[in-house]
Structures are given as structure tokens and as C-alpha cells.
Structure 1
Amino acid sequence: MPAANDYLKSTKKPKVLIVGAGIGGLTLGALLEKAGVPYEIYDRMVGIRPLGAALGLGNTVAPLFKQMGIWDEFLSLGKPLHSIDNYNEQRQLEFSMDFNPMKELGGTLDYVCSRAAAHSLIQRQIPAEKIHLNKRVVSIKQTEPPSDSGGSGGGGVGVQIQFADNTTAEGDILVGADGAYSNVRLNMYEQLQKQNKLPASDSAGLPYKCICLVGKTHPLDPTQFPELNDPACRFSSMIAPNKLYSWTTYTIPDNMYCWIVIQYLDGISSLDQSSFRNAEWGPEAAEAMCKDVRDFAIPGGLNNSLTMGDLIDHSPSISKVLLEEKVFDTWYSGRTVLLGDAVHKVHPAGGTGAWNAIHDAVVLANWLNLLSSSASVSEIEAVFEEYKRERYPVAKISYDNGRIFSQVVEQTLKAKVTRFVMRNVPNWLWRIILTRKIDARPQLSFLELIPDNGSVPPRHQPSLEKTLSILRAQKA
């Protein structure tokens, strides 16, 4: 870790270029806004459209959202999750996984809301003029300014992005938060490959063995869908022993359903960047898969006779996506660092994808708040190494948890064993499993700290401890 006086060289903070306006990129922007660190956000989309239907957040973001002043509004966007109920194809309850202990362990339950609602909440914390759309990255250049004179704020170009519209952006630090098929990661890895510095593990494509449909209905009539009247989230997963599918539905506020259907492929496949661009993920592909799954049974409705078709027919926007799973080993190089799905993509069954990206943003923001615009590449990389050292182990745990929870609804022998264990798991073991899900509860060192009211102490947060120490030294 750089010494405290390394951060006293200049009061001018580095300019951060964030590529990707998903939840991770927007969260980092919102935190840098609080810290007074200059930044701009760029996204290739013409309009911001968050992928995915629903997400669950709670313990792992509560302290941060309270620091940001958005916790109460977030609660209004979701429904509390008390259990995940697992049904057979006759719509009979097989077993439930009880999440009520999370309130005691970590201080709150998880709340399930639409991804779009959470995305919009975070986006509103950022001035609109700092988000630039229709900006597809073509190339990236990094330089070390002469004589350590500084980055873009010190007379030399630290990092420059070339976009497809022939415009450029310059800054001191580049954050790639542009998803599983990140252009920033692709560019960075190509440069490292030329220098023979890229591990073989990172040169392979993203592995996947699932394809899924995700959707969200428009507001429905609760007299026809009475389960929507429940103030808690109805989280229902379907287990089909004779199908290579599983499917899940969630109720959210405003009388809406979110849903996901997962198709399990034979073996593990992978896509590289070019293959992904050429793959068929348009409306026609989604429509074809919808026809295949519309008769799948789900609990709910007046006579408990709903099918997926009842939700599909009321869903104005449906996406077909891959479920890739990989934690990369190379997180940064020079002035460029990766965040969220760009560096760790985990199975959604673990419910950790969104908060892992948010936690990446917290750790990065704590360190970027301390850097000066005159920081050298070696100083910047030292900060990035602190970030990776803190986040990499958690990402690996989330990857493992995602695999465990995905096996509850898969069809393999291992999955059947997992279901047997989950049906009969003793309370003490279940509490250990839940503790692993909620003990990461990070905070920002540059905002007022929030008292933690969980019975399980938060996991040690090195970035908070170290940056607080530096900030206190600066004030002394």
C-alpha cells in the first residue's frame, strides 16, 4: 500500500472515465460524485436499458445505501423476501428455503425489485450531463506522462478512448464496467497478450452451459392474480425432473411479475467477443424460445393453474441471454481496471451479481478518492492491487455460492443430492450458508459511517480501514 504522504502531493483528483452504464458503472459514478472526484460515464447503448428482470438486495448494500441517503427509497421499490419456495410440475410445494434469519444475522431482509427500478434509483444520483450514450469503444491508448508530471490534469494524456463516432475522451484512469463481453477488457487483454503477460486462463472464452429468457410483466389485475396482493415477494422456483429447464417467478410492487426460464445445455460451451456479436439474441430468437416454454406450469392465479404463457403474454419486453460463469485473474493493467461482470460473472441463482458490482464500486471509490491527478502508473497500479486483493476472494465465494444454489433446480445427480441436503439442512448449517451470503457489508470511508445492527459482524474491509487511516493522517 502506498504511504499516506503519497496522497498529499496534490489536492487535484484524477479524472475517471467509466465505460458502462450498468448498475456497477452507475454506482461508481454516484460514489465519485459524493467524493468530488471528476468522472464521465460512457455507454454504447443509444438508451439506457438494464438487462435482466429482477434483483434482490438487502444486507450487502444497506450500509452503503444509508450512507448515500437512498435506503428508504430503495425499500419502497421492492418486496421483502422471506423464502424461496420450490414446486414440482403439479404446482405442489416440495420445500422452502427460509431467509428470515437474514434480518437478525445482517440487520435486514433482502428486497426484490425490478432491475430497472434499482438502476433508475442509482442513475438519479448522477447529473445527466455526465452520462454519454451511443459511445462504443473502438480503441484505448495509455501513456505514462513524462517525468511523472501527471495524467490528463498534469499536461500529458494518461488514457484516451476512441469511440466509433470519431470522438475521443481523455482522463487519468479508465474503469471497464461494460459487462461480460467488455470492450475494455478485450482491448486490455490484447495488449497484455502482445507482451506475453496474459495468463492462459484469461485468454479463453466465457464458459456457459445455460441460456435463459428473462421478462417483466406490465401491471396485472390482482383479482385475477391474487398472489400480487401479498406485501412479501412470492419467489417460486419450479423443479422439473424430466425437462432440461428450470423456471422461476417473483412478484414485485405495482402488481407485476418478473420471471426467468433457464435452459440447460449438454456440456459447457464458450463464446469469444466476435462470436457473441454474431450470435442470434434478437426478438425472433426470444420468441422461438417463448413458444417452447409457454405451457410450463407455475403456481398462482385464481385456480392455481397459471402457466408461463400467462406471464409471457403480459410481458412487453423479453430478453434471451447467456448465463456465463467465470472469475478472471487479470483485473487491471496500467491505468485501466475492470469492475462487475467485466471481471467476474457468476450464476444468478446465488443472487450476488448486482451487489458484487456495487461492492467493486465501493472499494474502488474509497481508493480513487485518495489518488491525486499526478499519481504515476505504479501508484495507480498499487491502488488497483489493493482493490483486487480485497474483491477477488469475495468474487470467488460468490461464484461457488452461485453454483451451489443453481444446483437446487438443475437435473444432474449432484443437483439431486443438493436438493436432498437443502430439504434436510439443519438450522446451524443453514445459518452458516446465510452468513456467507451477508457478511460482506462495505462502507465508504469519505462519508459518515453507519452503525451495523447485524448479529454477525461485517467481514473485515481493508479498503475502509486503510483509507480511513490515510484520511485521518491528512487531517492531523
Structure 2
Amino acid sequence: MRVIIIGGGIGGLTAAVALHKQHAEVLVYEAASEFKPLGAGIGLGANAMQDLKDIGIGDDIFAQGTPIHTQIFKDATGKILNTIDFAKFKAQYGHENITIHRAALHQTLFDALPRHTVRLGKRCLHVSEHHDGVVAVFNDGTSVKGDLVIAADGIHSSLRKQFYPAADPRFAGYTCWRGLTTNDGLVEAGVSCELWARKGRFGYAPMQDGQVYWFACVNTKPDNAFYAELTNEQLAYQFRNFPQEVGALIAKTEQAQTLHHDIYDIKPINRFVFGRTVLLGDAAHATTPNMGQGAGQAIEDAITLAKNIAQYNRKEALHRYEKERVAHTKKVVRLSRQIGWAAQWSSPFATTFRDKVFPHIPSGLLFKRLQFLFKNHNE
């Protein structure tokens, strides 16, 4: 089988690695003209780590990550509202949640493929299906034919628009800054934290080599020019009423290490498969980052698809992939959006209510609410 993968991000490269190990002919086409480290820190849940282990690169990725055993939620004064014991995932499923630099994960996936597999500077315009295959057409006038096209070209996927033109990205209601800086004793090992307040939300987690990944979110309309131009010093002032470590982390982050984006997702769709073309990752189910499952769900897509292709004929494999992944990722997208909605409340009444009720929700219930992420792993 010749598989054409459109998009060389985490989902596309994971699919390429998994299918290459099954001896499929894999060609990855990436619109960017060069391969270079991008992004900041990301979280990989134990569910994703299990899948990466299954294709033989889990240990390499774990070695570059930092295990997180506890998630803490606080109010703006630093008072603990609740916690989630991630160590239970290790005890129950054998794998840990980690933080890792997106570039390190990307590079490990890239290094697991033969160099000729990835073609750069190739932006796919559209695909056309024929009785004996599918053809992908690129912006430079070239085309390639294969047995299957995997559309892993992100939230703004041109291929999703071809088959599902109404599935445009939707704004989540807030904008986000992300940064990397040195820890210097500000952040506890193995602990990630989020602070929720009326005027914004701030989170941080330790990473390897004494680094810390942080994010900051505030409610706004999309494309707000004021927030787009904030320096780190000005951003720290926006969070001046938060605990001391918040302003310190922002202030000592180099401006070049700070990224700013409005947050979008895609309203869940009911189909990922269109003949010989299959949607994967953000192209299929872009989610807000509130559960740390964006990369993880793309990885799960890739492994699920590869496993089905190994066991069934093409049509049956794609049918099973769609059946398994559509319902599951819908739940992730919806729950993640709900979490972000509650975390970004700004009215005095709503935030007071949240801060009084949240501490009374049993930590075990929060853990249980995440166990659906492992449903497919236990069958």
C-alpha cells in the first residue's frame, strides 16, 4: 500500500512511523519549506505514551520528557481548589503523564523515518479519487498518486474544507500566551498547576533541563490588536494580582520564547473518512488545550488507523477507524471546551460560585472523569 500523508506535524509523522514499521510505502508532504523546531512545551497523557510505546519510540520520547504526578488547581490568591493524582494513571495503566518540548517530540518522530519519506515545501491543494487510487495535487503543479491519503494538515486543513466546507474553526473566547523559561526554584518537580481568576488564567509545569513551560489566557474577542502587541513586561502587569511566581515566570522569559495565539477548536463532525481520504488529528477534531490532549489524540488517531490497516482491508480498516475515533474525539473536544469555559469565567458571581463548589468535588471523581481516555486501551 502506498500512503500519502498531507502534513508533517505530530499526527502525520506518527502515522508515517507506524505505517512504515508495517512496511507500507509512506510519503509525507509538508507545506513548510524547512524542518525546524517550533512550539513550546506540551503535555502527553499516559494514553498517548502507551500508544507511542506500541510503535517502539515511547522510551525515546519518555527519556526527553518530565513525568507529572500531580495537577493542582488554585484561585488567584494561591489557595488550592482541588487536585488530580496523575500517579493513579501510572498505577492503573502502567504509563505516566509527561511534559515535553514540542520540538523534541517532533524531532524524535522525524528521526524514526527514512529521510526520503518527508518532502518539504509541498502544500496540497486538493485530492481527486479514481477507481484505482487517489491523487494529491500540490501548489507547485506536481501531483502524486497513492492508495490512501491521510489529511493531517491541521486545524485549517484544506482537505477538510474540500469534503466538509462548513467545518470552520470556531473561536473559544480567549487568547493565550505560551512561554519557556528557567525554573530557578519557582515550580515544584512533578507538579503542574493552574490558577483561575476573574481576570485570567495562568498555568505552568516543569520540564527537563531546569525549564518551565507556562501559559496565560485572558478573555477577549478574536484578533485583538492590543493583546497581539503585548511585551512580556506588559503581560506580567496584566497578571500582577496573581501569586509572585506568575509575574516572575513571565518577566524572565525571553521575548523570543513567548508565543501568542487566539484559541480555536472545531465543532465536532460526524465523518473522518471520504472514500480513500481520511482526516487525522487537528484536521479532524481540533480541540482547545484545556485537557492537554491535542497531540495525544492525534497520536491515538495515527496508531488506531495503522493497527486497523494492518488487520483489515482498506475499506474495513477506514470504517473501523472512523467508528472508533469520531465518538471518542467528540467527547474530548466537548469536555475540553467545557473545562475552558468554566476556567475562563469572569463574572464575580460565577467565579465565587466556582471557587466555593470546586473544592468539594472529590479528587477521585475528577480522575474518574478522565478514565474514558483509556477506554480503547483496555479492550
Normalised by the shorter chain, which TM-score bucket?
0.7 to 0.9
Corresponding residue of 2:336: 402
Equivalent of residue 142 in structure 1, options 122, 125, 129 = 129
Checking the alignment, whether the CA contact within 8 Å between 1:52 and 1:319 is kept in structure 2 is: no
CA shift in 2, pair 1:289/1:331, >3 Å: farther
**1:45-444 map, 5 Å:** 45-48=32-35, 52-144=39-131, 151=132, 158-189=133-164, 203-217=166-180, 220=182, 225-227=184-186, 230-232=188-190, 234-241=191-198, 243=199, 245-265=200-220, 286-288=228-230, 290=232, 293-295=235-237, 296-297=239-240, 304=245, 306-307=247-248, 309-313=250-254, 315-370=256-311, 380-411=314-345, 419-441=355-377
Whole-Å separation in 2 of the counterparts to 1:106 and 1:26: 25
1:410-434, Cα deviation, whole Å (9 max, x unpaired): 2166676555443112255234224
Q: Percent identity?
A: 24
Q: How many residues align?
A: 376
Whole-Å separation in 1 of the counterparts to 2:175 and 2:147: 38
1:132-161, Cα deviation, whole Å (9 max, x unpaired): 1111112322111xxxxxx3xxxxxx2212
Q: Which residue identity lines up with residue 297 of structure 2 in the other structure?
A: N
Deviation at 1:94, TM superposition (A): 4.2
Give the secondary-structure state (helix, strand or coil) at the position aligned to 1:236: strand
Q: Which residue identity lines up with residue 184 of structure 1 in the other structure?
A: L
Whole-Å separation in 1 of the counterparts to 2:304 and 2:135: 24
Of 21-30 and 359-368, deviating more is 359-368
Structure 2 unmatched ranges of 5 or more: none
Whole-Å separation in 1 of the counterparts to 2:266 and 2:241: 27
RMSD of Structure 2 on Structure 1 (CA) = 3.0
Structure number with bigger Rg? 1
**How does the TM-score come out when normalised to structure 1?**
0.71
Q: Which residue identity lines up with residue 206 of structure 1 in the other structure?
A: P
Of 360-369 and 36-45, deviating more is 360-369
Q: Which residue identity lines up with residue 117 of structure 1 in the other structure?
A: A
CA shift in 2, pair 1:321/1:169, >3 Å: farther
**How does the TM-score come out when normalised to structure 2?**
0.87
Give the secondary-structure state (helix, strand or coil) at the position aligned to 2:106: helix
Whole-Å separation in 2 of the counterparts to 1:427 and 1:25: 35
Of 173-182 and 412-421, deviating more is 412-421
Deviation at 1:305, TM superposition (A): 7.0
1:49-99, Cα deviation, whole Å (9 max, x unpaired): 576422222420333333333222222212221222233334444443332
Corresponding residue of 2:14: 27
CA shift in 2, pair 1:95/1:367, >3 Å: closer
Checking the alignment, whether the CA contact within 8 Å between 2:152 and 2:280 is kept in structure 1 is: yes
Give the secondary-structure state (helix, strand or coil) at the position aligned to 2:31: coil
Checking the alignment, whether the CA contact within 8 Å between 1:102 and 1:434 is kept in structure 2 is: no
CA shift in 2, pair 1:308/1:210, >3 Å: farther
Larger strand percent: 2
Deviation at 1:407, TM superposition (A): 4.3
Q: Which residue identity lines up with residue 254 of structure 1 in the other structure?
A: D
Whole-Å separation in 2 of the counterparts to 1:249 and 1:299: 13
Whole-Å separation in 2 of the counterparts to 1:259 and 1:74: 21
Whole-Å separation in 2 of the counterparts to 1:51 and 1:210: 25
